[in-house]
Amino acid sequence: MKRRPFVTALGGGLTAGLAGCLTRDDTDEENGGETTDPEPDDPDLEGTLEVVTYESMLDGETPAGPWLKDEFESTYPDAELEWTLLPDQGINHYISRASRGGTIDPDVYLGLNVDDLVTVDDNLDDGGLFRELNLDRIERSDRIRDGLDMGDPHGRVLAYDTGYISLVYDETAVDEPETFEDLLDPAYEDALIAQNAQTSDPGQAFLLWTIDAFGEDGYLEYWADLADNGVRVLDDWTESYYGAYMNEERPMIVSYSTDQVFASAEGNDLSRHQTAFLNDQGYANPEGMAIFEGADEVDLAYEFVDFALSNAAQAEIAERNVQFPAVADEHVDLDDEFDQYAHEPPEAVTIGYEDLRGNLDGWVDDWARDFASQ
């Protein structure tokens, strides 16, 4: 990568603020088309690995990012891990960049969802943006639990943790709902808060969960019934949870099954933080990692992916990020407190890549139009 040091030098040449710039497009094309990365005889474990990830991995209260950086750098003394904050547009930022033939600086993307991959493939060439991973180079990849296979036909992504969407309810106000049909009962009239599937991850997960339960022909009807029973669809998880739910506007909300971890840390009464798994299910939202097609530090990137699946890293990611590990139980040791408050559903459901592909936008749009024009 010749561009980065050049831009830095240019930036340093200007005084305090780099304002306007004319740069020349890179002319040397990276050969990003190869299918697998063969195991090198002499891997290059020296250099700076640039990893892009979302805010709470770096800036949250107990972020996993700093631990991962320190531990990775002490495992690979010649390597440096450089964090990059995911731009505001998320994956769309890199899709736009790639479709304009611009260069992409980071080597690894940490925090990729299945629907991100669908968006990539809907807008770029099939299987684009990230490398197809050679799993022989990632020894720990077979530790990943069944059901967290993210279903990418191009094998670009591996899960490193997962969350489950469930309902959180106030047991002093309502009984535990057991099925989706229960939510239509008069006992739950004006009781549920959900989030907008257009803008919010839990909101979209809950919508997909209802599609899994009622099929793409039945979910709109179910939602019409939910609307009749007074469901309120707010914007983001934060406002709906810390605004509406915590000020007791309503006794039930679509949220995460790790809710009690935070509630107990806040010193809240847990009676308002009960977890309900409808149909004994939770909707799994696995988070994955992938290596960019044009990565400079391919060898280090492979090492990082394997490192993130190690016993210690899995425990730290899970507890700091308050998500569940991606590896099977025998490969990770979690604190008892985490086990006590983080609840796993008896059955995890998720709609995989194949079904989302070409459908996701339409499903969400049909639902939102129905809802907004009521």
Partner 1 sequence: MVCVGFRELLDRSSRESVNSAESAESAAVVESADSASSADRSTDEHPATKGPPDSASPLSSRVRTWLERHALALTALCTAAVLVVMLYVPTGIVFVNAVLENGRPTLAHIAGVLTDPFYVGVLADVFADPLAIGAHLRSLTGWVSAISVSLTVAFSVPIPAVDVTVPIPWFALSVPPVRQGLFGFTAVQAALSTVASVAIGLPAAYILANYEFYGRRTLRSLTILPFVLPGIMVAVGFYAMFGRTGTLNSVLGAAGIGPFAFIETSPLAVVILAHAFYNAPLVARVTVAAWESVDVRAVETARSLGASKRRAFRDIVVPQLAPAVLTGALLTFIFTFMTFPIVLALGGLQLATVEVWIYDRIQNLDYADAATLAVLETLLSLGLTYAYLRYESARSGLSQAASAPPTEPLFPDLRTALSPRRLAIAGYGLLALVLFVGPIASLVVGSVTDGGGFTLRNYAFLLERQLAGEQYQALPWPAIRNSILFGLATLAIAVPMGVVISVLTVRAGRSGTLVDTLAMLPLAVSGVVFGIGLLQGLVFGLPLPGGWRLQVTGPIAIIVAHAVAAYPFVTRNVSPLLVNLNSAMVESARALGASRFRALLDIELPLVASGIVAGAAFAFAISIGEFSSTVILASGNGSYTMPVAVERYLGRRSGPAIAMGTLLLAVTAASFVVIDRVGGRYEL
In whole angstroms, how close is the CB of 178 to partner 1 at the nearest point? 25
Q: Does 151 bind partner 1 (CB under 8 A)?
A: no
DSSP string, 228-242: HTT-EEES-HHIIII
Q: Give the count of residues interacting with partner 1 (CB under 8 A).
A: 80
One of 2, 38, 346, 374 touching partner 1 (CB under 8 A):
374
Which 3 state secondary structure label does DSSP give 61? coil
**Contact between 233 and partner 1 per CB under 8 A:** yes
Nearer to partner 1 (CB atom), residue 25 or residue 42: 25
Site membership for partner 1, residue 120 (CB under 8 A): no
For partner 1, give the closer residue by CB, 160 or 256.
256
Q: Is 164 in the site for partner 1 (CB under 8 A)?
A: no
Give the CA-trace dihedral at 45, 47, 50, 56, to 10 degrees: 80
Burial of 368 (0-12, 13-18, 19+ CB in 10 A): middle
* Number of neighbours of residue 79 by Cβ within 10 angstroms: 19
Tell me whether strands 274-276 and 252-256 are parallel, antiparallel or unpaired: unpaired
Whole-angstrom distance, CA of residue 232 vs CA of residue 203: 12
Residue 249 DSSP label:
S
**Out of 196, 281, 285, 350, the residue judged to bind partner 1 by CB under 8 A:** 196
User: Which of residues 18 and 187 has its CB atom nearest to partner 1 in the complex?
Assistant: 18
Cβ neighbours, 10 Å, residue 280: 10
Binding track, positions 33-72, relative to partner 1; x by CB under 8 A: ----------------------xx-xxxx-x-xx--x---
Query: Closest distance between partner 1 and the C-beta of residue 120, in Å?
Result: 11
For partner 1, what does the binding mask look like between residues 340 and 369, x meaning CB under 8 A?
Answer: ---------------------x---x--xx
Using CA atoms, how far apart are residues 80 and 83, in angstroms rounded to an integer? 10
Stretch that binds partner 1, among 29-37, 154-162, 194-202, 349-357 (CB under 8 A): 194-202
Nearest CA-CA partner of 351 in 184, 204, 170: 204
What is the closest distance, in whole angstroms, from the C-beta atom of residue 266 to partner 1 in the complex? 5
Which residue from 69, 73, 138 is spatially nearest to 326, judged by alpha carbons? 138
322 in contact with partner 1 (CB under 8 A): yes
For residue 88, the minimal CB distance to partner 1 (Å) is 5
Find the part of the chain contacting partner 1 (CB under 8 A) among 79-87, 148-156, 209-217, 307-315.
79-87
End-to-end CA distance of the chain: 53
> What is the torsion angle, in degrees rounded to the nearest 10, for the CA atoms of residue 332, residue 337, residue 339 and residue 344?
-130
Q: In terms of CB distance, is 37 or 321 closer to partner 1? A: 321
Residues between 7 and 36 with contacts to partner 1, criterion CB under 8 A: 10-11, 13-25, 27
